[in-house]
Amino acid sequence: MNHTKSESKKYDVVIIGAGASGSALAYTISKYTNIKHVAVLEKYDRPGQVNSRASNNSQTLHVGDIETNYTVEKVKQVYPAAMMVAHYGEILTPTERNKFLFPTSKMVLGVGKNEIATLEKRFDDLRPIFPNLKKLHRNEIAQVEPAVVDGRDEKTPILALHTTSGYAVDFEKLSQSLIDNSEINNPDIDILFSHEVSKISKLKNGQGYHLAIKNGESIETRVLVVNADSYSLLLAHQVGYGKEFSLIPIAGSFYFSKKILNGKVYTVQEPKLPFAAVHGDPDVNKSGATRWGPTARFHPVLEARNMKTSLHFFKSSGLWKWKTWTSFAKILFDPVRFKYLLENMLYEFPWIGTQMFIKNVRKIVPNMKASDVTYAKGYGGMRLQRVDTNTKELLLGEGKIIGDMAIFNMTPSPGASVCLYNAMRDAETVTKFLGTGFHFDKERMMTDLYKESETCEGKDPGLKYNYVS
């Protein structure tokens, strides 16, 4: 679209953020709707540079088979929703697909009688959903992941659930693929990098939104969709939405060792903690290594390793409100969470942090020593958890605020895994916003990407349950 420098660029739909979620929506609109006047605004010079960046997440396609903090009902939704990423890969050439999608084995390990009992029940519950999921006892674990058994006390019982049907994902490259194919599907789409939105306001006529860009440009849109994760709440606040929400900023860090594991190995998680227990993963961009983590600590920024975003955190968190502080106190001083966060803060200290962290790794690989791991400098992302300051509740998983001709998505893990499913829901809402003359071919998208055989209900579940972190 051509515009003079002095006038606002005008669109039917503007998407803010070109991570996995924003890129997935751009792809969905470009392929399955007749909306042509679309723009994607990204503050960085290429897609997927915040939480979708390969170094900022665990690179796992979360489907619910090894994530023990997913209830069975949530697994029934997450599995077919996440597998849309794998099915998207299937419609590409092998060369394109192999840039971001990597088949891998996955295991969740239970140590001790209580955790084994949890996995025994979970296996029975999940068998109808995952027919390829296997229950492994000690000798079978040793054949698949020898390091998990070597050096372990014979008196300590262990059990694992294992599948060879897992995927690792480079969500940064997935974002790039989705953007590239969006431009192929709709040559008129504007992908505008280095376009950071400084201010959103409603148009005076009430027919959309005005976006001020830091480079001085001006943009108007009928429909606005914000897929900027932690920034989504900040931008929602600018137009009066989500005032009751705050954010608890949790930063994660990782360690590297030489290759110890053959695939991904997770452990049974504590339900009260909105972040994964320590797990070991192959890194998609670092051959011959195993990545360990994440740790988790309170860190008042919106982007990892970017202290300039601390001001943005304070603007979006509402820390000047007394009810925000009382909400934080209730959540963070829960004995389980407080102990966990205190321990994880110590992990950041030289030497002593490694000595403490290695104890968690030994739950997976008993023979690991502190000297076997090195701190992964430059790795780790932010997972900002929403807080409802009215109810003082921690709201785990994805958040969505739907306003007047606007959607604001906050998508902590597994947001990237379910990016295409979330895009399908948002594309349906966007076309309803635009009204007569616009349509979304949801049936064709579901035929291409959403397989009924991957859910017990055999239908679109419609997000009855929120996704969990």
Facing residues of 281 across strands?
291
Rounded (10°) CA dihedral 259, 262, 264, 267: -90
Of 369, 393, 417, the one marking the end of a domain is: 393
**Which tens digit of pLDDT belongs to each residue from 363-394?**
999 999 999 999 999 999 888 889 999 999 98
DSSP state of 8: P
Nearest residue to 148 via CA among 309, 265, 29? 265
Cβ neighbours around 286 below 10 Å, total: 15
| CA–CA distances in Å: residue 400 to residues 48, 141, 312, 327 | 20, 40, 20, 20
**pLDDT attached to residue 210:** 97
Nearest residue to 237 via CA among 381, 386, 382? 386
**pLDDT attached to residue 340:** 80
Mean pLDDT check: name the lowest of 58-62, 190-194, 454-458: 454-458
Which residue type occupies 74? K
In a domain, 386, yes or no: yes
Q: Give the mean pLDDT of the chain.
A: 91
Grade residue 413 by pLDDT with cuts at 50, 70 and 90: low
In a domain, 128, yes or no: no
**Which tens digit of pLDDT belongs to each residue from 3-38?**
444 578 999 999 999 999 999 999 999 999 999 999
Position 456 pLDDT exceeds 80: no
CA distance 340 to 439: 48
Grade residue 353 by pLDDT with cuts at 50, 70 and 90: confident
End-to-end CA distance of the chain: 39
**Which tens digit of pLDDT belongs to each residue from 74-94?**
899 899 999 999 999 999 999
| Phi, psi torsion values for 53, nearest 5 degrees | -60, 140
Query: For 175-195, what is the mean pLDDT?
Result: 98
**pLDDT attached to residue 351:** 84
Residues 344 and 307 reside in one and the same domain: yes
Residues 356 and 377 reside in one and the same domain: yes
Residues 237 and 259 reside in one and the same domain: no
**pLDDT attached to residue 356:** 87
Residue 280, CA atoms < 13 Å, CB-side half-sphere: 27
**Which tens digit of pLDDT belongs to each residue from 312-328?**
999 999 999 999 999 99
Look at strands 134-136 and 209-213 and give their pairing.
Answer: unpaired
Give the domain extent around 434. 9-101+168-243+396-454
What DSSP letter does each residue of 263-306 carry, written as one string?
SEEEEPPPTT-SSPPPEEEEETTEEEEEEEE---EE---SSTT-
Of 344, 360, 393, the one marking the end of a domain is: 393
Domain count within the chain: 2
**pLDDT attached to residue 299:** 87
Residues 84 and 32 reside in one and the same domain: yes
In a domain, 387, yes or no: yes
Look at strands 245-251 and 297-298 and give their pairing.
Answer: antiparallel
Mean pLDDT check: name the lowest of 179-183, 316-320, 368-372, 461-465: 461-465
**pLDDT attached to residue 455:** 61
DSSP state of 310: H
Grade residue 52 by pLDDT with cuts at 50, 70 and 90: very high
Residues 174 and 91 reside in one and the same domain: yes
Residues 348 and 280 reside in one and the same domain: yes
CA distance 31 to 27: 6
| H or E segment and range at residue 402 | strand 399-403
**pLDDT attached to residue 276:** 61
Facing residues of 41 across strands?
16, 192
**Which tens digit of pLDDT belongs to each residue from 97-141?**
999 999 999 999 999 999 999 999 999 999 999 999 999 999 999
CA distance 114 to 401: 39
**pLDDT attached to residue 1:** 45
Position 274 pLDDT exceeds 80: no
Residues 309 and 425 reside in one and the same domain: no
Rounded (10°) CA dihedral 130, 132, 133, 139: 170
CATH for 223: 3.50.50.60
**pLDDT attached to residue 275:** 60
DSSP state of 7: S
Percent of the chain with pLDDT over 70: 94
In a domain, 149, yes or no: no
In a domain, 163, yes or no: no
Position 258 pLDDT exceeds 80: yes
Residues 16 and 83 reside in one and the same domain: yes
SS3 annotation, 12-26? EEEEECCCHHHHHHH
Query: For 191-216, what is the mean pLDDT?
Result: 95
Query: For 426-440, what is the mean pLDDT?
Result: 97
CA distance 129 to 263: 21
Query: For 253-281, what is the mean pLDDT?
Result: 88
Residues 207 and 356 reside in one and the same domain: no
Check: pTM over 0.75? Answer yes or no.
Answer: yes
